[in-house]
Amino acid sequence: MKTCDVCKEPLRMMGKFKYADGYICKKCYKKASRQFTETIIKKSLQEIKELCGIERDEKSLEEFEVTGRIGNYLLIDELNQKICIPNNRMTNRQVSNPDFYNVEDIAECEIVYRPQMTLEELEEKTAKREEGTIKFLKIKITFKNKKEKKEICLIANPVRIKSYAFRQSFNFAKRMNQEIHRLMQESAEEEMEGGSE
Ligand SMILES: [Zn+2]
């Protein structure tokens, strides 16, 4: 008898649900589909397991090899095409578990700050050590499934543009933005090459 790929319970005829790599039971389907609100047909076993809360951090950590890092904000694994956001004390009020993401799941990454101006304007102001304050500065990552987004907060309280603190945070933000876009680009190219074979 076939069993559920996640919990290994026997699969009933009417109670099995297909995902990309096989079948799971109704109980696991409920979790994997976030209470029946999402389809699972394109999800991999790893994704399904994560949604069911199994092997989440252990597995992700196991498969994560740090090949690059930007401060304490972002870890990069080029081999497995993943990023890790450590959720450290600096960026969050509470310490929480690190978050792992597949580069291929990232839809967009941008630097967000107020007051609004173009990145070039902000760079010029910074270079010229101009007066003025920035209310907040963060990296916003949106994912292809639309339901999730992640923010890496670099500045949460107003700081002067000409301060060292701002320049340093701004540099981190630009590097993260650049690095994530580079990884996204590579991931997209790889996908195209794979598709033409
Ligand atoms: Zn199951």
Distance 13 CA to ligand 1 centre (A): 13
Residue 98 lies inside a defined structural domain of this protein: yes
- Are residues 41 and 110 both part of a single domain? no
CB–CB of 25/7 below 8 Å? yes
* Domain-located, residue 60: no
Q: Both 108 and 188 in a single domain?
A: yes
Q: Which of 54, 75, 90 is the last residue of a domain?
A: 54
Domain that holds residue 39: 1-54
The answer to whether residues 99 and 128 belong to one domain is yes
One domain for residues 44 and 91 = no
pLDDT tens for residues 39-70? 999 999 988 988 888 755 555 556 788 899 99
Centre of ligand 1 to C-alpha 15, Å, is 10
* Claim to verify: residue 115 and residue 45 sit in the same structural domain: no
Are 5 and 24 spatial neighbours (Cβ–Cβ below 8 Å)?
Answer: yes
- Residue that finishes a domain, picked among 11, 32, 54: 54
User: Of 182, 176, 177, 183, nearest to 71 (Cα)?
Assistant: 176
- Which one, of 84, 129, 111, lies nearest residue 171 by Cα? 111
CA of 33 to the centre of ligand 1 (A): 12
Span from the CA of 27 to the centroid of ligand 1 (angstroms): 6
Does 59 map to a domain?
no
Give the pLDDT mean for 180-197. 80
- Amino acid making up residue 35: Q
Asked whether residue 86 falls in the same domain as residue 38, the answer is no
Same domain as 80, residue 50: no
Please tell me the distance between residue 83's alpha carbon and the centre of ligand 1 in angstroms.
28
Cα 6 to averaged position of ligand 1 atoms, centre (Å): 5
End of a domain among 33, 54, 75? 54
Task: Report the domain count for the chain.
Answer: 2
- What's the gap in Å between 4 CA and the centre of ligand 1? 5
Average pLDDT over residues 12-23: 90
Same domain as 78, residue 40: no
**Is residue 144 in some structural domain?**
yes
CA atoms in the 13 A half-sphere facing the CB of 35: 0
Give residue 53 CA to ligand 1 midpoint distance, Å. Answer: 12
Distance 5 CA to ligand 1 centre (A): 7
3 and 87 share a domain? no
Residue ranges near ligand 1 (ion) with Cβ within 5 Å: 4, 6-7, 25, 28
Same domain, 107 and 131: yes
Ligand 1 midpoint to CA 32 (Å): 10
Q: What is the pLDDT of residues 78-134, one digit of tens each?
A: 988 999 998 755 444 555 677 889 999 999 999 999 999 999 999 999 999 999 999
Question: Ligand 1 center to residue 37 CA distance, Å?
Answer: 18
The band of 145, judged by pLDDT with boundaries at 50, 70 and 90, is confident
Share of the chain above pLDDT 90, in %: 61
| 50 and 70 share one domain | no
Same domain, 97 and 177: yes
Q: Whole-model pTM?
A: 0.65
CB 86 within 8 A of CB 77: no
In this prediction, residues 170-191 reach a mean pLDDT of 93
Tell whether 168 is covered by a domain: yes
